[in-house]
Chain A
Amino acid sequence: MRRAGWLGLGVIVVAAPWLVAAAVPRQQRYVLHVLIFTALFAALALSYDLVVGHVGSLSLAHPAFFGVGAYAAAILATRAGWPFLAGLPAAALAAAGVAALVGVPLFRLTEHAFAVGTLGLALVASVVANNWVEVTRGPLCITGIPKPTLGPLAVTTLPAFYWLALAALVAVGVLYRGLTTFRLGRAFHAVRDNEPLAGAAGIDPLKYRMLAFTIAAALAGGIGALYVHYLSVMCPEEMTVALTVNLLVIVFLGGVGSLRGVLVGAVLFTALPEVLRLAPTWRLVIYGGLLLLVIVRSPEGIESLLRRVTGARAGR
C-alpha cells in the first residue's frame, strides 16, 4: 500500500471510536468492545507468529505464557496493590522467565517432540491454574482487578481502553517488524529455512530460537496483563489449549510470517463471528472448515491472495 493509503488507514483506525459512535450509536459500546479484543488478539497473534512464522518452531505453549503474565498481573494488582505500569513489565518478565526455563530442554527435542512437548506444557499450566487455588483461586477466578492507570491518567472508558490496546498493538507491530528484518530477521529465517546450513554459517539455531521464544513469551505475558486489566477478572479458562487453536487460525488464515497477513487474520477472526451470527457450535464448525480449507488450498493464507491482488513485492 502506498504511503497515503497507510496514513489514511491509520487515521481511520485512530478515529474509530468517533466513527463508530456516529455510524452505529446504539451499538457503539459493543463494537468498541469487539475492536479492543481484536487489537489484543492481533498483538498476541503477532507475538505467536514470531515463533511459528519466523523461526519455524511450531510451539503450542503460547497460552501458558499468556496465562503466566495474566495471572502475575492479576495477583500483583489485587494482592500487592501494584499499579498497572509496574505490573505490566513484571508480567512480561515472569512469562519470559518461564519461557527461558522451559525453552532450554524443549529445544533439545526434535521438531515433532517439541510440538507435543509444548502442548504438554500448556496443558500442565492449565491444570495448575485450575487447581492451585491458593495462588490463582482456581475456578473462582481472581476478581476486582482495577482499571489501568497511566500515571495521572485513568483508563476507564471504552475509547480510552481502545487507544491503549491500539498503542500496544502498534508497539508489538513495530517490534515485530524490527525483529524480522535486518540481520536479526535474516538470521531467524536462516534457522527456519535451513537449520544445518545456518549452523554451518555460524548462526547458532538454539540461541536464535530461544531469543524468539523468550521475546514472544514476554510479549504474550504483557498482553495478558492488558487483558486482565480490561476484563477485571482472570479465570483458568482464559488460558486453555483452545487459545492455541484460535491463534493458529488467525496466523494461518491470515498468512504465517507476514505482518499484514496476521493483522488481516486477526480482524477476520474477531469480526467474522459477528457477521455470521450463527449458533456458537455452528460457528466453530465453520472456523474448523475454513481453517481446513485455507491450510489445504492456500497455506500462505489470505496474505498470498493479497499479494496477488496488489501485485506487491514479497512481504517477507
Chain B
Amino acid sequence: MRLALTLATLLLLAFSAGAQAPPIRIGFASAMSGPAAITGEGVRWGATLAVEEINAKGGVAGRKIEAFFADNKAQPGEAVSAVRKLADVDQVDVIIGQTHSGACLGAMPVVKEIGVPMVIEACSHPKIRELSGKGGNEWTFRVALDDEIMAYTFARYMARQGVKSSSILAMNNDFGRGAAVAYDAAFKKANIQLLSTEFFDPGQPDYRPVLTRLKRANPETILAVILASDGAPFMRQFRELGLTQRVFSRGSLGSAEFLHQVRDNPKVGDGVVEASYWITGLDPEWDKKWTERYKVPPRIHGSLAAITLKWAVVPALEIALKKHGKADRPTIRTALEEVDVKDSPLGPIKFDANHQAWINMILIEMRDGQLRILEKLPTSPALLN
C-alpha cells in the first residue's frame, strides 16, 4: 500500500515537472569503460561543456537541451545496447556517437530499425560512408573524415615531400587496422614503398621490441596510427633508441594532449607531422573554457562531440523547429539533410548524398612544444580519384 502511494506520488511529480516545453534530448554514446575509456571520458566532458554553453545562451529556439550518455565499450555488441538504451529508455531525439568504427558499424542497423538519427563525430571506417545516405542507411550522418579520404591526401603530401619508403605502426583495433588497409592502398597510388606493417595493443607501454623491428626494416619514414596517451611512451622510447625516421601520424599524436604528457621534455615530439581535422586553436574560446574547467588541454574526441553538437545538430534542430515546427526524430533527420554551415571550426558542414560532410583536413607540425598548421586542405569527393 505504502509502495503504491510512493510510486503514485513520484509519477505525479514526474509528470508535473514537464510542464513547460520539454527539453530536447540528445544522446551521446562512446567508450565509457574498458581500455578505450579515455575517449569516452573526453566525449562526456566535451558534451557536458557544450550543452551548458548552449543552454546558457537560452537553448535552441527557446528549448533547452538535455544530454544523456551511454557506454558502448568500443564494441559493436555494446553499441547496440547503448543505442537501444538511449533511444528506448532515455527517449533521445538524436544520437551523437560512437567514436569507434566497430561500434559505429554495429549501431548503424539499429538506429535504422528504431528510426533515430545518429550523427557520427569520429568513426573513420570508409564503409560507413558507403553504407549511409540515399539508397542506404538514411538515419546515419558523419561529420568526421574517413581513412580513405585522409590516407590518399596524406600519402600525396608525403610524396610531394620526397618520401620514397615507409613503415606503418598502427593500433591493434578497428581504427588502426582500418587505417593500415587505407594507407597500404594510398601508398601504392603515391608510389611510396611500404616496407613493413606492425600493430601494437593500445595501453601497453613497451615499444622497444617493435622499435628495433622498425630500425631493422629501415624505412625513410614511419606512419604512426596512434593516440596521444600511447604516443608519449612511444616517442620517448623512439628517442631513447635513437631512431631518426621522420614520423607522420594519424590519430592524436600531434596534439596539445601529447605535449601535456611530455611537458617535461616537449622536444620529444619534434618533427612529427600529423594529419587530422581538429587541433587546439581552431576555436580558442572553447579551448579556454575546457582548460579552465578540466585543468588539462582540450581532447580531440570531446571537442569533436561538442563541434558536432554545436555546428551540425543544433543548426538541424533550429531548422526543424523553425521550418517544421517540431523536433521529433524524422524531422531532425530531414533537417540534417538541409544543414549548410559554412564556418564551423572544422570547415564547411553540409551532408552530401552519402550523408558525409566534407570538412577540412589539416596537417600539423610539432616543434619545440608548439603545434603549427602546415596546410589546411579542403576536401571533396574528387580527392578519391
Q: Is chain B in direct contact with chain A in the complex (CB below 8 A)? A: yes
Q: List the B side residues contacting A141 at CB < 8 Å.
A: 76, 102, 105, 174
Apart from A231-B76, A231-B106, A281-B32, list 19 A-B contacts with CB within 8 A.
A27-B89, A30-B87, A30-B89, A34-B81, A131-B172, A141-B102, A141-B174, A143-B105, A232-B109, A233-B76, A233-B106, A235-B76, A235-B102, A237-B75, A238-B77, A280-B71, A281-B33, A281-B37, A283-B33
Interfacial chain B residues near A232, Cβ < 8 Å: 109
Contact A29 B114 (CB under 8 A): yes
Does B224 make an interface contact (CB < 8 A)? no
A133 and B173 CA atoms in complex are apart in Å by: 11
Instruction: Mark out the residues of chain B between 60 and 102 whose CB falls within 8 Å of any chain A CB in the assembled complex.
Output: 71, 73-77, 80-81, 84-85, 87-89, 91, 102
* In the complex, chain A residues whose CB is within 8 Å of the CB of B32: 279-281
B298 CB-CB contact with A under 8 Å:
no
Q: Is the CB of B177 within 8 A of A133?
A: yes
List chain A residues, Cβ under 8 A from B71.
280
CB proximity to A under 8 Å, residues B196-255: 199
Output the nearest chain A residue to B88 by Cβ-Cβ distance: A30
Q: A30 contacts which chain B residues (CB < 8 A)?
A: 84-85, 87-89
Give me the interface of B with A, judged by CB distance under 8 Å: 32-34, 37, 71, 73-77, 80-81, 84-85, 87-89, 91, 102, 105-106, 109, 114, 172-174, 176-178, 199
Q: Measured between alpha carbons, how far is A29 from B85 in the docked complex, in Å?
A: 9
Q: Is the CB of A139 within 8 A of B84?
A: no
How many angstroms from the CA of A233 to the CA of B127 in the assembled complex? 15
Kindly state whether residue A206 has any CB partner on chain B within 8 Å.
Answer: no
Q: Is the CB–CB distance between A231 and B80 below 8 Å?
A: yes
Q: Contact at A280–B33, with CB atoms within 8 Å?
A: yes
Report the separation of the CA atoms of residues A37 and B78 in the bound assembly, to the nearest whole angstrom: 11
Q: Mark A34-62, 1 if CB is under 8 A from B, else 0.
A: 10010000000000000000000000000
A139 contacts B77, C-beta separation under 8 Å:
no
Give Cα distance in the complex from A40 to B73, angstroms.
20
Contact with B along A192-216 (1 / 0, CB 8 A): 0000000000000000000000000
Q: Is A26 part of the binding interface, using a Cβ–Cβ cutoff of 8 Å? A: yes
> Are B77 and A233 in contact, CB atoms less than 8 angstroms apart?
yes
In the assembled complex, A33 has its CB within 8 A of some CB on chain B: yes
Q: Does the CB pair A140–B177 fall under 8 Å?
A: yes
- Taking CB atoms, residues of chain B closer than 8 Å to A238 are 75, 77
In the bound complex, residues from chain A placing their C-beta under 8 Å from that of B114 are 29
B residues near A130, Cβ cutoff 8 Å: 172
Q: In the bound complex, how far is the Cα of B174 from the Cα of A26, in angstroms?
A: 33
Chain B residues near A133 (CB-CB < 8 A): 177
Check A237–B74 contact: CB distance below 8 A. yes
Question: Which of the residues B76, B77, B91, B105 comes within 8 Å of A26, measured between beta carbons?
Answer: B91
> Does A7 belong to the interface (CB within 8 Å)?
no
Q: Which residues of B contact A31 (CB under 8 A)?
A: 88
* Interface status of A83 (Cβ within 8 A of chain B): no
Distance to closest chain B CB from A279 (angstroms):
7
Residues of A within 8 A of B (CB): 26-31, 33-34, 37, 130-131, 133, 138-141, 143, 231-233, 235, 237-238, 279-281, 283-284
Interface of B is mostly: helix
Sample of 8 A–B contacts (CB below 8 Å) = A133-B177, A140-B102, A233-B76, A235-B75, A235-B77, A279-B32, A281-B33, A283-B33
Q: In whole angstroms, what is the CA distance A280 to B85 when docked?
A: 13
B77, B177, B178 interface centre (most CB from chain A within 10 Å): B77
**How many angstroms from the CA of A119 to the CA of B173 in the assembled complex?**
23
Q: Is the CB of B178 within 8 A of A237?
A: no
Taking the closest CB of chain A, its distance from the CB of B10, in whole angstroms, is 15
- Report B137 CB to chain A, min CB distance, Å: 13
A139 touches B177 (CB 8 A): yes
- Least distance between A240 CB and chain B CB atoms (Å): 9
B41: nearest chain-A partner, CB-CB: A281
Nearest chain A CB to B320 CB, angstrom units: 21
Question: Using Cβ atoms and an 8 Å threshold, which residues of chain B touch A283?
Answer: 33
Task: State whether A139 touches B102 (Cβ < 8 A).
Answer: yes
- In the complex, which residues of chain B have a beta carbon less than 8 angstroms from the beta carbon of A26? 88, 91
Distance in Å: Cβ of B132 to nearest Cβ of chain A:
15
**CB of A274 to closest CB in B, whole Å:** 8
The complex places the Cα of A28 from the Cα of B106 at a distance, in Å, of: 20
Smallest Cβ distance from B116 to chain A, in angstroms?
11
A282 CA to B102 CA, complexed, in Å: 25
Q: Which residue from B33, B37, B84, B176 sits with its C-beta under 8 Å from A29? A: B84
Q: How far is the CA of A140 from the CA of B106 in the complex (A)?
A: 11
Give the residue name and chain of the B residue nearest to A231 (CB).
Answer: B77
Contact across chains for A138 and B84 when beta carbons are under 8 A apart:
no
Q: Identify the 8 closest CB pairs spanning chains A and B, nearest first.
A: A30-B88, A280-B33, A30-B84, A233-B76, A280-B71, A139-B173, A237-B75, A27-B88
- Tell me the minimal C-beta distance from B180 to chain A in angstroms: 10
Asked, given contacts A29-B84, A133-B177, A281-B32, whether A138 binds B172 with beta carbons under 8 Å apart, the answer is yes
Compute how far the CA of A143 lies from the CA of B89 in the bound complex, rounded to whole angstroms.
27
Contact partners of B33 in chain A: CB under 8 A? 280-281, 283-284
* Max chain B Cβ within 10 angstroms of own Cβ: one of A143, A237, A238, A283: A237
**Complex Cα spacing A130 to B174, Å:** 10
A286 to chain B, nearest CB (A): 13
In the docked arrangement, what's the CA distance between A223 and B267, Å? 53
B84, B85, B105: the one contacting A233 at CB < 8 Å is: B105
B91 contacts A140, C-beta separation under 8 Å: no
CB distance from B18 to the nearest CB of A (A): 15
What separation, in Å, do the CA atoms of A281 and B69 have in the docked complex?
A: 13
Partner of A139, one of B81, B91, B109, B172: B172
Instruction: Give Cα A133–Cα B174 distance, bound, in whole angstroms.
Output: 11
Looking across the interface, which residue of chain A has its beta carbon closest to that of B80?
Answer: A231
B106 contacts across to A, CB distance below 8 A: 231, 233
With a CB–CB cut-off of 8 A, which chain A residues contact B75? 235, 237-238
CB distance from B99 to the nearest CB of A (A): 14
**Residue numbers in A under 8 Å from B81 (CB-CB):** 33-34, 37
Compute how far the CA of A33 lies from the CA of B70 in the bound complex, rounded to whole angstroms: 15
Q: How far is the CB of B3 from chain A (nearest CB, A)?
A: 15
